[in-house]
Amino acid sequence: MGNTHAGLLPFSPDEQSRMQDETKLSQDEMMNLFRKFRKMDLHKSGEITFEEFRRIPELASNPLVGRLFAVMDTDGNGIIDFDEFLNGISVFTPARSDEDRLRFLFSIYDVDRDGLISNGELFSVLKIMTGASLPDRSLQQLVDRTIRDYNRSGAPDGITFDDFRTMLTEKGAAFEQTLKVEL
């Protein structure tokens, strides 16, 4: 890995090396993402607010944009710095494992980050996705059935990551295509 961008990224060589190890991205890919990050950072604060994040064209009409932001905001301070952005975006690149992508997807549903998708969490995220197109009663029946059918770990009122992985594996390869992006 060359260090041609070492002076262009606002991180020490040790930090850049750590980021590369965590994200599996090359220096060129990191630099490309840094440029995109700076364009999104309308206030030039070195951080992306939710308002700036939701202006990303690919996310603008996504009903889960708020959940995506919350998952990428790993420290929960209401903003995304470049390190959080890099870690979040890199999950969807071919360099990262399917396991990493599944963990990210799981975290979309695990709102309180306790390692369990509860009945209420699954309902609330699916409600965001379906809006008014599915009555609450029907949605609750779907949630109850999903938890009943896929809670194989015996966790109380929820789905663990292992249950989630099994559920997606059984549902086919359609998810695999939706979980990868090119930089």
pLDDT value at residue 40: 92
Q: Which helix (H) or strand (E) holds 159?
A: strand 158-160
Q: Is residue 2 part of a domain?
A: no
pLDDT value at residue 35: 92
Same domain, 46 and 112: no
Low-confidence ranges of the chain (pLDDT < 70): 1-8, 172-183
Place of tokens 């549903």: 109
Same domain, 103 and 172: yes
Same domain, 74 and 114: no
Given a contact cutoff of 8 angstroms between Cβ atoms, the answer to whether 120 and 131 are in contact is no
pLDDT, tens digit (0-9, with 9 covering 90-100), for 119-152: 999 999 999 988 889 999 999 999 999 999 899 9
Rounded-to-integer distance, Cα 71 and Cα 109, Å: 10
Same domain, 173 and 117: yes
pLDDT, tens digit (0-9, with 9 covering 90-100), for 165-180: 988 887 764 444 444 4
Same domain, 166 and 102: yes
Same domain, 21 and 79: yes
CATH of the domain at 174: 1.10.238.10
Given a contact cutoff of 8 angstroms between Cβ atoms, the answer to whether 18 and 30 are in contact is no
Paired tokens of 53: 């994040």
Asked which of 90, 110, 144 is the last residue of a domain, the reply is 90
Rounded-to-integer distance, Cα 78 and Cα 47, Å: 10
Structural domain including 85 reads 13-90
Paired tokens of 18: 């750590």
Count of beta carbons in the 10 Å neighbourhood of residue 172: 8
